[in-house]
Structure 1
Amino acid sequence: MAKLLLLLLPLAGLAHASNISSCGGSAQVNTANIIVTGCDQPSQPCIFRKGTMATIKLPFTPTSQISAVKAEVHGILGGVPIPFPLPNSNACNMSGLNCPLVAGEQYTYQASLPIKRIYPSIGLEVKWELKDGDNSLVCIMIDVKLE
């Protein structure tokens, strides 16, 4: 039994070493399939370089038909959400989604977020959410370092 625990302990650490995690939503999402700029090291924060665009490719499968999807991004500082404006918050327009979305089919949301030079060089959590009205369809948290 002790040998089994010694073998499993490193694996348990890997399961929690991701810089992208789910924070809820009604859709099915595998965070291992999400691609975000600067997230090259799973156990390190994603690097968002000022003056560039952070990009995301987020595959998900809705569990019900969805007529409209809105994207929202917030930086979480000291527990306080601070909005990051997206150039296009309508996820059904030029983001890889053709609404309405059909239940059980996989879709991939794609977007870019400008990382402005005026942003401070800090570490923070970024909450990227796709919403169906007031309901969360997809919610992910990204561990980020602004440089």
Structure 2
Amino acid sequence: MMFKVWFVAVLLTVFATIFCSGNVTPAQQCPGESFEGLQDRIQVTPCGKSRCNLVKNTNVTVNMKFTVVDKTDTMTNEVYAYIGGAPVPFLGVDGTDACQHVKRAASDEYVACPLAPGDYEYTNVFPVLPVYPTLSTKVHWSLKAGKKSLICFEVPAAITAGSKH
């Protein structure tokens, strides 16, 4: 009987570890910027512990928690990959309006810009387009209010073709 209880406890611990570690995003601070608790504020799915695997013709979900200090009239996505050391914008994502995907952190109520000072959460789903090159890179993602970053992170990523059926 004692062995069964021990076995079940170990099994539950293993499943909990696998489930929780699967939701970790290896987010890093953007150069020249610092956001407190960045690891806890960013979730990109799918991501592993060391990098995000972006498979062409699939979708990526991005969730970011951020704080607005001064009223923000507009907000855009700044998203690019480093290719040969140069930033190359993600087509269909970089420069797009981010306001329509924001909700108040406290109430889960979607809001539109302008955003008053407070805590917010951005969630959106983006396609990994087949025209993206197959490579390992670092992806830069920032929510911009004008030239100011409201939140910014970089993450190691691999863009792959996926399996052929």
TM-score under structure 1 length normalisation? 0.74
CA contact (8 A) 1:130 1:138 kept: yes
Give the length in aligned residue pairs: 127
Over the aligned positions, Cα root-mean-square deviation in angstroms equals 2.4
The SS at the match of 2:68 is coil
Structure 2 residue ranges without an equivalent (≥5): 1-24, 104-111, 161-165
Distance in 1, matches of 2:158 and 2:40, equals: 20
Runs (4+) of structure 1 exceeding 4 A deviation are 24-29
Name the SS of the counterpart of 2:29 in structure 1: strand
2:69 is equivalent to residue 63 of structure 1: yes
CA distance, structure 1, for counterparts of residue 33 and residue 98 of structure 2: 16
Paired position in structure 2 for 1:81 = 87
Higher relative contact order (CA 8 A, sep 6+): 1
C-alpha contact 2:29 2:35 (8 A) present in aligned 1: no
Name the structure where helix makes up a greater proportion of residues: 2
Q: TM-score, normalization: structure 2?
A: 0.67
Task: Check the 8 A contact 2:26/2:39 in 1, yes or no.
Answer: no
| 1:34 aligned partner | 42
User: Quick check: 1:28–1:62 contact (8 Å CA) kept in 2?
Assistant: no
Q: How far apart are 1:85 and its partner, in Å?
A: 2.4
